[in-house]
Structure 1
Amino acid sequence: MEHFPLFLDLRGRRVLVVGAGLVAARKIALLRSAGARVTVVAKAAHPSVQAQAERGEIDLHLSTFEPRWLNGMWLVIAATDDEALNHAVAVAAAERHLWCNVVDDAARSSAQVPAIVDRAPITIAISSGGAAPVIARRLRERIEALVAPSIGALTALARRRRAAIRRTRPQLAARRRFYHWLLDGPVHDALRAAQPERAEALLAQALNEGESPVPGKVLLVGAGPGDPGLLTLRGLRALNEADVILHDRLVSDEVLQLARRDALRISVGKTPGEDHEATQRRIHALMLEHARQGLTVVRLKGGDPLVYGRGGEELLALRAHGIACEVVPGITAALACGAYAGIPLTHRGLADRLTLATAHRSADAEAARTESGHTRVYYMGVERLGTLRAQLLRDLPADTACAIVENGSRPEQRTLHATLATVLDEARAHAIASPALLIVGEVAALGQELAWFGQTLTSPARAGATRAPEDGALLAA
């Protein structure tokens, strides 16, 4: 170990910062967040530093550095672009046995400022000893993704009730079990759900009556459209908490690779032609079976669980059987496919309305009865493309722009640009297959100019070659 890690209580203690530029301003903000009384010495100050001084938040002295400024200080930060001045500050601090950090100069620093994950009162610090700050920051980013913000609230609650916990759990082993229960059980779940009063009540009940066994729960998690980079941070945390993962067939392998390695993975995806109602009943049964064993179950769905994902039905089934549940939204296919195909779903002067629909219900909704300036996005529309196109042509011009985005956000994404007149023939010619999504409206044409990801398909006649349809083409998503 090259450096001894230490957390300093700077509340009310004086810290000197030499320098008042943008780098110094960042250090000042960090010190003030820790409660330090900050004195700044510099020949000139950045406007943001000057403004803090005018508000009385820091003491600013527009002066040259002299060793006397170190009197009464607990810590020194040298944050100037003058190497000679930084060296002088470090030498003067060492003579007074004061810890000194020279920004971006490990050799002159007796103290390092680490990369910080702040979940106050939990603080996680990562330092490379100045050898590779970028690596420390990257590690911090990974830890940020895994540590829920609610851990800070849980720790603060435990601190407030620490005396009662020690009184009711005088044995160390019993206290350890209790803290594990706090972290894994209903108190933390209540804080994650922004219900602090309920968390307080559950903790008080556990102190008086003893902690109950940690119940199982189900998290409905949106995996997004396929690109693992679009998974939310909360979704990533859920995958790392899971004992069991029930995943759809459209969830990409790249997303599943982010999950906890020892989690049980069960594919429950529906396929075309199968009895979807029977499959859905099996999903309900699996969720209940594993949650009743006290396990954390992640029901992982492509896109968003509550947008054409039957997530509402699953929530109702869980509530009917008293199973705790949580919803983690995901990026739904319409938003992702539009973005990755360069198609703005709303655009000033072209579209100020947006409808998300499913081709399975298009007839009920009289889909084509709309005016211009309206973007429509159809999920599961490829299998019924012929019927859907006929409905749209009842009221929309044949030259209305449309686009089909296949495998949106994935490396194999293809975007077919066409009109209502040509889309069916061109989809067949290019063997467009599920998962694919249909976008109809004037904004669809913008994708030909704004496309930035994947392959953009041209008309077979213009391309000079036509790929024959393959088995599985034009299937529903």
Structure 2
Amino acid sequence: MSHFPVFFDLKDVPVLVLGSGDLADAKARLVARAGAKVVRWDRLAAGADLTPFRFIIAAPVGDEIDLAALRAAASAVRVPLNVADTPSYCDFILPAMIERGPVTVAVSTGGTAPILARLLRAVLEKAIPPGYGLLASLAGRWRERVTAALPDASRRKAFWETMLAGRIADLALAGQAEAAEAAIAEALASDHPMPSYPVALVGAGPGDPELLTLKAARLIGAADIILYDALVGDGVLRLAKREAKLISVGKRCGDKSSMPQAAINEALLAAARTGGRVVRLKGGDPGVFGRASEEISYLDAHGVSSELVPGVTAALGAAAALRCSLTQRGVARTLTLATAQTEDGMADHWAGLAKAGGTLALYMGKAAAGRLARDLIAAGLDPATPAVAVENASLPHQRETISNLAELPFALADGRFDGPTLLLIGTALAQTQDRISSVLEVAPAA
């Protein structure tokens, strides 16, 4: 059965709810909240007149209602019928709903899987914060004034897009109603009511789109231009709207095939000057080996505002995928994030890290694993220190191997690891070594 979603205004509409149990009570509350005049019957009496009702909802307990007779009676007077958990008797479906003030979102599986609809509603409730209700109310209050101030349809459309996805939206979503109202008034009073958008430097996380922040997902979905690193997962890019322009700017963290940083800066500035919404999408967190400060400084120098939206950095994504704590009371009190893309002659650097103890998370560590292991051992780190290498953390094609510091280079030498690889080194990993070993391949001894 196919369905076409329609919202009805139920204010003062007579609705019959049949059934004597808790489910019928819940259905009655649902339609009453929508303003309907609810009539309750436990059963359908023989010859009962159904013509006064616009809709009938049945949630019987056991066999207290003859559903075939109810269906025939409702059809005879052309009153749409819904029977809870019985799609074959339904003329319409009651979806799982999310309400945010004037905003209503309905989720339906066509009656085939009501529990799934409720689970999807829970996901959407997190993705659609209550601030969207305030934003919708603001739009309603300002609708006539915006129309009067901007009679040209194209300029009015641009204004609404700015309001609903830019700074004004951010204020409303943060619950700052007065500030949002003031920003709308200021924009309409301006000679240029469509203010430019700040460039958003957004953390895409380790790859799994479910690990994005809600703000990151919203900005990606609203962007007109997205400049993204090659480390950004395809699942994240699929959140972009169809008409968005996607520009790959290569990898980061010292990859020599990358677009030079100067060229990225220029491309970012050119995108910002189009007047559209620009997102600079970076793998992991933009503030962790993502050169965010260089891009922010370049934009500042050219009079372009920006904002930084954090993401889950690869070390945390990998630890979550391994169900592993990177700190441990009495074992590892520190966590050090470092890039393995360093020059030779870093003995003092590695000595300091070795003495600090704790857990080391070394980014882009595959190619340098031999040198890293040698230098860390020379700096005093125990060769038996647990070490885990994780490639494509959080993605379905994630690979991992567990060994110790001395054996780590051999674990990575067989060519199986050909993507971005993170190295986790530290005693804290031993606390979960048995559990990790059940899902990881143990590296061969040297």
TM-score by length of 2: 0.75
Instruction: Give the CA deviation at 1:75.
Output: 5.6
Residue of structure 2 in register with 1:8 after alignment: 9
Look up the match of 2:58: 78
Which residue identity is paired with 2:203? G
Pairing 1:368–2:354 present: yes
| Matched residue, 1:423 | 408
Distance 1:144 1:289, change over 3 A: farther
* Aligned-pair CA distance for 1:140: 7.5
User: Cα offset for 1:101?
Assistant: 2.5
Indicate if the aligned counterparts of 2:351 and 2:380 stay in contact, CA closer than 8 A. Answer: no
Q: Pairwise mapping of residues 21-36 of structure 1 onto structure 2 (< 5 A)?
A: 21=22, 23=23, 27=27, 30-31=30-31, 34=34
The yes-or-no answer on 1:202 pairing with 2:202 is no
Residue 426 (structure 2) pairs with residue 441 (structure 1):
yes
How far apart, in 1, do the equivalents of 2:59 and 2:289 lie?
A: 54
Of 231, 234, 247 in structure 2, the residue corresponding to residue 265 of structure 1 is 247
Question: Which residue among 81, 90, 103 is the counterpart of 2:84?
Answer: 103
Structure 2 portions without partners, runs of 5+: none
Structure 2 residue 436 is the aligned partner of structure 1 residue 456: no
Equivalent AA in structure 2 for residue 450 of structure 1: I
Q: 1:86 to 1:281 in 2, by over 3 A?
A: farther
Which structure 2 residues correspond to residues 289-304 of structure 1 after superposition, within 5 A? 289-304=270-285
Q: Distance in 2 between matches of 1:275 and 1:173?
A: 42
Task: Give the distance between the partners of 1:149 and 1:34, measured in 2 at CA.
Answer: 19
Task: Indicate whether 1:188 and 2:169 are aligned.
Answer: yes
| Equivalent AA in structure 1 for residue 391 of structure 2 | E
Aligned-residue identity in percent: 36
What residue ranges of structure 1 are gaps of 5+ in the alignment? Answer: 42-63, 462-477
CA contact (8 A) 2:135 2:173 kept: no
Map 1:52-63 to 2 at 5 A. none
Distance 1:328 1:28 in 2: 43
Cα distance in 1 between the residues matched to 2:110 and 2:410: 63
CA offsets, 1:167-190, max 9 Å, x none?
A: 545787876565455335543354
Give me the whole-angstrom Cα distance separating, in 2, the residues matched to 1:174 and 1:377.
50
Q: Structure 2: how far apart are the matches of 1:36 and 1:20?
A: 20
Q: What is the Cα-based RMSD across aligned positions, in Å?
A: 4.7
Q: Distance in 2 between matches of 1:24 and 1:111?
A: 16
Number of residue equivalences = 434
Contact 2:21 2:61 in 1 (8 A): no
The question of whether the paired residues in 1 share the 8 Å contact of 2:272 and 2:304 is answered with yes
CA distance in 2, matches of 1:316, 1:35: 55
Give the Å deviation of 1:11.
8.5
Matched position secondary structure for 2:260: helix
1:190 and 1:320 mapped to 2: Cα distance?
Answer: 26
State the Cα distance separating 1:406 from its structure 2 match: 2.5
Tell me how far apart the structure 1 counterparts of residues 92 and 145 of structure 2 sit (CA, whole Å).
38
Find 2:268's aligned residue among 267, 287, 302: 287
Matching of residue 409 in structure 1 with residue 390 in structure 2: no
Alignment CA distance shift 1:3-1:412 (3 Å): closer
Pick which of 149-158 and 188-197 moved more: 188-197
> Matches of 1:304 and 1:146 in 2, distance apart?
20
Residue in 2 that maps onto 1:47: none
TM-score (norm 1): 0.71
2:233 corresponds in structure 1 to: 252
CA distance in 1, matches of 2:31, 2:266: 53
